[in-house]
Every structure is written in structure tokens, then in C-alpha cells.
Amino acid sequence: MTQPVANIVRRAATNVVEQLEVRQLFAVAPTLNLFNSATEKVITRMTDGMTIDLSKTGSRLNIVATPATTAGSIEFKIDGVSVRKETAAPYALGGDAGWQDYLDWTPPLGTHTVQAVQWSAAGGTGSIQAEASLKFTVVDAPTVPPPTTVPPPPPVTVPPPPPPPPPVTVPPPPPVTVPPPPPVTVPPPPPVTVPSSPPAGPAADLYNSATDKKLFRLTDGAKIDLNTLGSKLNIAATPVGTAGSIQFKLDGVVVKNETYAPYTIGGDAGTNFLDWTPPVGSHTLQVLQFSKADATGTLMGTTTLKLDVVGVTTVPPPPVSPPPVSPPPTSPPVSPPPPTSPPPPVSPPPPPIITGNDDNAPPPGEATNGGAPAPVVKVINGAGVAGLPVVVNAVDSDLPNSPLYATYQWDFGDPNGQYNRLPGWTAGHIYDQPGTYTIKLTITDGNGNSATTTKTVTVASDNRKTIYVDASNGSDANPGTIGAPIKSYTKAASLTTHNTRILFKRGETWNTSGHLSVTSDNVYIGAYGSGANPVLNVVSGSAIQTFDSAQNVLIENLTFDSPYKAGVLAPKVGVSGIFVRGVGIGIRGCTFLNVDDGMNANGQPTGFIAQDNDAPLTTGIRGYLLWTEGNDIVALGNYAANSTREHCMRVKDANRLLIAYNNFTNVSRESVDKEDIRKGTIVMQRGSWSYIYGNIVKDGPLHVGPRGEATEPSTTRTSWTVVANNKISNYEMIIFPGAVHTMIRNNVFTNTANQSAIAVNPSDPQGRPVTDLIILDNTGYNYATYGRFLRVEGGAQADTITLGRNTYVMPNMTIGNNNTAGVSVSSYNLNAFKRIFNNIWPVPAATIKYAQGGVMWVDPTYAGQVGYKDPTEWLAYAEVEGDVFKRV
């Protein structure tokens, strides 16, 4: 066995070198797009030498990088200063809280250079794969009030005598054009000038962004040692009194403007601080407190601190990383604390995703047949008018080895559209502009062999008849033109026919007692005008239903609510937003408030895209944001704050799905509403060929497998599922009996309670098995004293589970209670495992003598000493090879 493994190592190392050489010669730089962070929409693709006019774009911006190839991470630099490292998509310079939830960032005035460096591994480590670098100039919206001494006016910008400008929102007023004294100019000394004794500025605290815990208060000359603190950090400002906004500068460069608390340099999603790593070296941090939003108004105080950042976490490893059979190399060595006391919970772990990409070679010893992939693409709804939802799948492609080890990359040929590049067996895209587009699929198998194929989609101009609906000023006797709109929802429903656009006026509300039915093709239902999205207030039933005869339907930019607001209790109310059937159906940018189900697709549509919808209320959704059945289903960038009675998303009897870049939370409100328990975030109950990628799920489990036992036929299965590159926190991922051919890879699990990262229930009384379960390259964090990375209950079939190259970080691990272990197996042996190799397990911070030095548990009784296995005993099992026990 040694010789084949050695040969595989040698071949893998050679392949890595060859791949790096090719990547360096033919690397394609990431694309940079300028976003409006208020609307989450693309403003423009950035080009070298462009100008950003803040008077036109506004100050709530962000820059998002789209890598041309799979990225381990993206590092952003402004004028050579590293300002942000993003390991998970979307890669946003100003930070984000998931897809289509970009945080606000305002570029400083002047000419700057932005760099987006694409790294092969997480946290800006590994090797550089590609780099985008371009210059841009920011004009017309200063972020700092003008000084007291007004410089001579730039000759090219002096306008005719304008109305007196506010002191913080216009360029420095030229003395030759502003009448003295202008009524809006505060006489010297102006409040924005820092006097010789500056007012007290905001306090700055360093946080661990993995635990959201404060490390220490920053003072002038403070040292930040990345070797001991790790790279997952953030700085939060505490203002003096009430602040309109806080601005962060690093070495004179504006990094972030924060209008809402918490005020963080690296961004946040409420109290969930996002990751930010300060660059190594000596730097000057400025924290400026303003009286108004977006760093405007009066400068109320400034804190200036010299910081010394040391450590090796920002230095990439040598370009040729160890082959996959070796322990992951990306974590820098961390000096362990004294053995007599546990390391503190805030001690940060290594970068979160060990491999940093979605490449996934089979474990050594797996069959690697010859040949290359033969891609086959099927297109659903491949022609129609603009606003066209198109879904594709590649499940009929021929691969030389298991598709679980392959990567699928789609490019929809629409770089200005959202989600132009997606992973997975199935993918979808909404084409908003007419034209002929080429869809490209690249499949790379487990051997590293790639093949590409293309399909063409034709999108015609939108020439549909448009009906305008105005609840305030319309009349149902009108023809429905923009100058003479109709009034009622009932009238709008009667006019919804073939080749029609129904537009509801923004800022208005309609009560609906009967649904608007879509029974034909080429139907668009949306909004017009300015203001908040139209509200459909559902009194009974549902607001909109699409039927089996519907095709090429897009519903977007509507809000669905009801009169049945929640109190302390939030029970089901019997009304829902949209019921979905038909072919080529898209629902995009809609908000669901006090309803049971937001989108119910139990009508089994084919080619359904649910994109960028949100349910922002903790007591809003009572059922499911999305229940789906059918075929070729795509859920992209949706958000749910909670469901009070059900799962956020549930899949039943559906085939070929992509569930990507969603952000779901399912909290417990049992203390005030006993039925609002932590149910599932994503529940893949029954179906096949599902790809669950890049999601953020919190507080409720991610399920894969049938509901089980007597609730459904014993023949039910959930087959061919990939769960990759997700962030899963505050609950377990659970594998149920009947889950077959499942890959769990490159995920980050974070727990602060006595939980497992992954729990496997391998059998039930009806005889459903778990087979072909592969767990590779994941990272688990647990900051509690009790817990485990993997829990496997009894009854597993032999050779069911492959467990390799995972890292488990548990700095406060206490052995001897609550079945705490790296791996807990309810069996007398490890026969359920096909292979266990090259994992990194923690060294306990404390252990009771009774545990006899055990770190793992192998025994079905959960009692006595015999189940505890120390590292020597664990490595003695025939199934285990190359595992390491250490503090990281």
C-alpha cells in the first residue's frame, strides 16, 4: 500500500507544479464591478482610468470582484494597502452579509489604484492565481469638511455663482465665487477643523470576528500579533455620545464609512462581525466621528493610533503546496498555552476553509479511471423575451469517475447580469437584455481532466403590452396606459394574459382576496414609479398563482404582506405569497412579510428560479420562505430571518437543484412562543442531484435525507448531494437514513455549544441506509468545552464513510463529559469507515483522569472507560492513516 500512495503523492505534486505554471501563464484577472450598496445593483463594470462621480452614483457603494476561475480568496488593496481579504463569495471590498446584501463603502476623493489579488487558498494565502489592477478617480463628493483656509479655486471646476453649499457636501468653496459670508458657512473656527486640542475621539477595540468577542482596547503604539491572535479580526469604534457616522482611515486611505452601529472597519451583519485582517507592518489608524450619515456634517472628534502588526499569516506559503494526502498546510504554527490552563475562547483558529477552493481530488486509493469528461447540457426555457429565466443541467454528462469528485462551472455569457458564473450540476440565469448568448460549461473531473461545451440562448426584445395599475389615481374604466392607469387588483388579474406586463405603482397597497392567475406565456408582473415596492396585502388565499400552462414568467420587486401581524405569538395565518407551477418561472427581488409561505412550489414547476428574495422579519414567515418540488430548481441569494413554525427552505420530490448563496436563520423563540423552535434552515428531504453551495445558515440544522421512519415510504432516498463551501453555525448538519452518494466538502462549521459539526444517523427501522458519504476538507470550530466534529450513531453499513483532510479547532475542549471527542462512533469498531486520513484533531485543554487520555470515542454504550481512545489507540485502527493531534 505504501508504494501506490507514494506514487500518487509524486503525481499530485507534479500536477500541482504544472497547474501553477499554466495558471501563471494564462491567468485571467478577476472582473471588478461597482455596486450601489443601497439597491444592491451593479452601476458599471470598472475599467482602468474611469471616473466615479459621487454626485451621480451616491456615496453608498461597494466594489465586488468576480474571479474567472475558482478562487481560494480575494485580497483587496487600495493604493497598495491591503484593506480586505474575502474567503467566501461574494468578494466585496466593503464587506457584505451574503449575496445581494453589500455593506456601504465610500471611496475617498482623488486618484487611486485598486487591486484585486486572487489567491489559491483562504485568507489571502497560498499562491497568487491572478490579479486585477486599475486606476480610478473619485470626484464631487468630499467625505471630509473643507478646511478653514480655502485654497484657490481649480479653474476647471469654478461654476457660475451657485446657491450656498452645505459645508460638508460640496467641494471647497472658491473665495472668488462664494459671497462673504455665505449663510451656510460657519465663521472660523469652523467645527470641522481639528483645534490644537482636538476633541476626544471614538474608542477603538480589537475583536475576534470568529467569536465576535472583544480582545482588547487599542491604544497608541499597540501591537497586533497575528501569530497569537490569528487573522480573523475586526476593529469596532465606540463613539463619544451620539454619532451620525464613523469613518475609518488606514495610512490616510479611507477604508470604510459606517452610518449604523456597530461601527466596524471590516464590516458586520449586525453583531456578527465580518473578517478583516490588518496588513503586516507599521500603520496609522484614524477613527473619525461625524455628526451626520456617510461621514458628513461636523467632525466631532478624531482618534489617531499607531499600530504595529506582526506575524506571518499574510505571507503566502511556497508556491507548491503539499499534495492532498498530506495534512493541510495553510495554518501557521500557533504557540500553545501552558498545559495547566485552557486556552481562552477568543483564541482564533487558522483560516476557515483549509483547501480554499472547490477542487476535490479523490482520496488516495480511490479508482481514477482514464479518459476525460464528456459534458452534456440540457436547457430549459432557452428562448423568449427579455426577462427570460433559463435553467440548465449537466447530469447526463459522462465522467470517468464519481461526479461527486468533479467540479462544474457555468458561464452564462452575460457579464453585466447577476450570477453570470455559477457552480453545480444545475444552474440558472435571468437574461434582462435582448441578444444571443453563449452558455459555457466546464467540467473538471477528479483526475484534473477538463472538458467544455456550449449552448446558445436567444433573447428577444420585450414588446409585451404593458398595463399600469395605480391604486390612488387609477380607474378601472381606463385603458391601463401610464397616463390612464387602471385601479384595482381584480381588474389587473383579469388583464393578465399572453404577452402582457402588469406593473403596480410603487408606494401603494392593494388588498387581495383572490389570486392573480397566470395561465399563459410571456407574462411579467412587477413595479413602476419611485418609492417602496408595491404591497400586495393578502387577506385570504394567495396573491399570485402560476399554472401548468404558464411559461416564461417573471415576478419581481413586489412586497407580500397580510393584515395578520404577529404579537408575542406568531402562529400560521392561512395566507401565502405565490404558488408556483409551469415552465421557466422566475421570482426575483420580492419581500415576504406576514404570510405563511413566501413561495410555494409544490405544483412541481420545471425550470424555476427564486432569486434575491427576502423575509426580513423574525416573526414574519410562519411556514416556508421556499417550499419546492419539481425539476431544475435554482434558489440564489435569498434571505430569511426566521420561520416561526417550519423550515426556511424545504425540498421534497425535486430533482436537479442549485441552492447557492442564500442566508437563512431559524432562531428559537421558545421562551415567549413555545412553538417557535429551531427547525431547519435548508432541508433536502427527498430528491436527487442537489448542489448546496456557498450558503450562510445559522441557528437551525441543515438536513440531508428523508424525513424517515413511518412518515414516508421505506423506498424514499435522497441521492447525489453536494454540500460545499457553506458557513454553518450554531447547529449541526444532520445526515438522515436514506441519504446516498453525499459529498460534504470545504465547509466551515462554528459552534459555541455542546454540539457536533456533523451528525450521521445511518439507519432507521424501515431499513433506509446511509451509503457513500464523503467528508473532506472541512473546518470545524467549537468554542464550548463540550462537543465533537463528527457523531456517528449505530447501525452503519461497512465502508460507508470517507473522512479526510478535515481540521477541528476546539481550544477549550474538556474530555470526560457529554461524549466530547474529535469523532464519536457508536460502535465497537470503525468498520463503518472506508478510510480516515490526514485529519487534524485538537489536543484537549483539560481532561479528567477517568478518560485515560482519550480524545476519540468508539463504543455503542456511551458509558464506562472503554470507549475513550487516545491518539495512539486511534492511529492503531486499520482505517486510520496520517491523522494528527495538535493545538491550532
Please provide residue 23's backbone torsions phi and psi, each rounded to the nearest 5 degrees: -60, -40
Share of the chain above pLDDT 70, in %: 83
Q: What is the mean pLDDT of residues 481-496?
A: 97
Listed in order, strand segments (DSSP E) in 12-109 are 31-36, 41-45, 50-53, 61-66, 73-78, 81-86, 91-92
Instruction: Tell me: pLDDT of 351 over 70.
Output: no
Mean pLDDT estimate for the chain: 84
**pLDDT for the residue 42:** 83
The per-residue pLDDT for range 735-780, each reduced to its tens digit, is 999 999 999 999 999 998 888 999 999 988 888 999 999 999 999 9
Q: Which residue has the cell 416564461?
A: 552
Residue scoring higher pLDDT (260 or 587):
587
Instruction: Tell me: pLDDT of 525 over 90.
Output: yes
Please give the C-alpha separations between residue 425 and each of 3, 202, 381, 517, in angstroms, as whole numbers.
35, 50, 17, 32
**pLDDT for the residue 147:** 38
Tell me whether residue 1 is exposed, middle or buried, using C-beta atoms within 10 angstroms of its C-beta: 0 to 12, 13 to 18, 19 or more.
exposed
Q: 98 falls in which pLDDT band (50, 70, 90)?
A: low
**pLDDT for the residue 269:** 62
Tell me whether residue 819 is exposed, middle or buried, using C-beta atoms within 10 angstroms of its C-beta: 0 to 12, 13 to 18, 19 or more.
middle
Residues in the chain: 888
Q: What is the mean pLDDT of residues 178-195?
A: 39
**pLDDT for the residue 60:** 84
The per-residue pLDDT for range 714-737, each reduced to its tens digit, is 899 999 999 999 999 999 999 999
Please give the C-alpha separations between residue 508 and each of 54, 65, 482, 491, 635, in angstroms, as whole numbers.
30, 36, 15, 16, 28
Which residue, among 694, 607, 596, 612, has the nearest Cα to 650 in the 3D structure? 596
| Helix residue spans in 525-574 (DSSP H) | none
**pLDDT for the residue 369:** 57
Instruction: Tell me: pLDDT of 149 over 80.
Output: no
| CA 513 from centroid of its chain's CA atoms | 37
Please provide residue 606's backbone torsions phi and psi, each rounded to the nearest 5 degrees: -120, 125
**pLDDT for the residue 297:** 87
> Which amino acid would we find at residue 17?
V
Share of the chain above pLDDT 90, in %: 61
**pLDDT for the residue 363:** 54
Left if phi > 0, otherwise alpha if psi is -120 to 50, otherwise beta: which for 120? alpha
- Give CA–CA dist 495/516, Å, rounded: 10
The per-residue pLDDT for range 637-660, each reduced to its tens digit, is 999 999 999 999 999 999 999 999
The per-residue pLDDT for range 529-547, each reduced to its tens digit, is 999 999 999 999 999 999 9
Give the dihedral of Cα atoms 93, 97, 100, 106; nearest 10 deg.
-40
Quick count: other Cβ atoms within 10 Å of Cβ 142? 19
What grid cell was written down for 751? Answer: 459552534
Quick count: other Cβ atoms within 10 Å of Cβ 677? 14
The per-residue pLDDT for range 689-716, each reduced to its tens digit, is 999 999 999 999 999 999 876 778 889 9
Name the pTM for this structure: 0.64
Q: What is the mean pLDDT of residues 574-581?
A: 98
- Give CA–CA dist 672/567, Å, rounded: 10
- 614, 589 contact by CB (below 8 A): no
The per-residue pLDDT for range 58-89, each reduced to its tens digit, is 888 999 998 878 888 899 999 988 888 888 78
Quick count: other Cβ atoms within 10 Å of Cβ 754? 15
**pLDDT for the residue 84:** 86
The per-residue pLDDT for range 778-814, each reduced to its tens digit, is 999 999 999 999 999 999 999 999 999 999 999 999 9
The per-residue pLDDT for range 198-230, each reduced to its tens digit, is 457 899 999 988 777 888 999 999 999 887 788
DSSP element (H, E) containing 490: helix 489-494
Please give the C-alpha separations between residue 774 and each of 788, 808, 854, in angstroms, as whole numbers.
18, 17, 25
* Distance, first Cα to last Cα, the chain: 30
What grid cell was written down for 262? Answer: 456597530
**pLDDT for the residue 271:** 66
**pLDDT for the residue 4:** 36
Give the contacts of 46 (CB within 8 A, at least 6 positions apart): 32, 33, 34, 63, 114, 134, 136
The per-residue pLDDT for range 282-334, each reduced to its tens digit, is 999 999 999 888 788 899 899 999 999 987 433 333 333 333 333 333 333 33
- 659, 632 contact by CB (below 8 A): no
Quick count: other Cβ atoms within 10 Å of Cβ 709? 13
- 300, 261 contact by CB (below 8 A): no
The least confident of 318-332, 604-618, 626-640, 661-675 is 318-332
**pLDDT for the residue 349:** 34
Which residue, among 662, 652, 546, 578, has the nearest Cα to 614 in the 3D structure? 662
What grid cell was written down for 705? Answer: 435525507
Residue scoring higher pLDDT (564 or 200):
564
Name 532's bridge partners: none
Instruction: Tell me: pLDDT of 48 over 60.
Output: yes
Instruction: Tell me: pLDDT of 167 over 50.
Output: no
Instruction: Tell me: pLDDT of 390 over 50.
Output: yes
Q: Per mean pLDDT, which of 175-179, 344-348, 517-521 is the most reliable?
A: 517-521
Instruction: Tell me: pLDDT of 414 over 50.
Output: yes
Which residue, among 729, 760, 719, 726, has the nearest Cα to 745 in the 3D structure? 726
Q: What is the mean pLDDT of residues 248-266?
A: 87
Q: What is the mean pLDDT of residues 437-446?
A: 96
Please provide residue 94's backbone torsions phi and psi, each rounded to the nearest 5 degrees: -90, 5
Q: 847 falls in which pLDDT band (50, 70, 90)?
A: confident
The secondary structure of 324-351 as a DSSP string is TTSPP--SPP-PPPPTTSPPPTT---S-
Radius of gyration over every alpha carbon of the chain, rounded to an integer in angstroms:
28
**pLDDT for the residue 857:** 94
Half-sphere exposure of 425 (CA within 13 A, CB side): 26
Domains along the sequence of the chain with CATH: 25-142 (2.60.40.10), 197-316 (2.60.40.10), 378-459 (2.60.40.10), 707-888 (no CATH)
Give the dihedral of Cα atoms 557, 563, 564, 566; nearest 10 deg.
70
Q: What is the mean pLDDT of residues 478-495?
A: 98
Q: 558 falls in which pLDDT band (50, 70, 90)?
A: very high
Q: DSSP letter at 875?
A: H
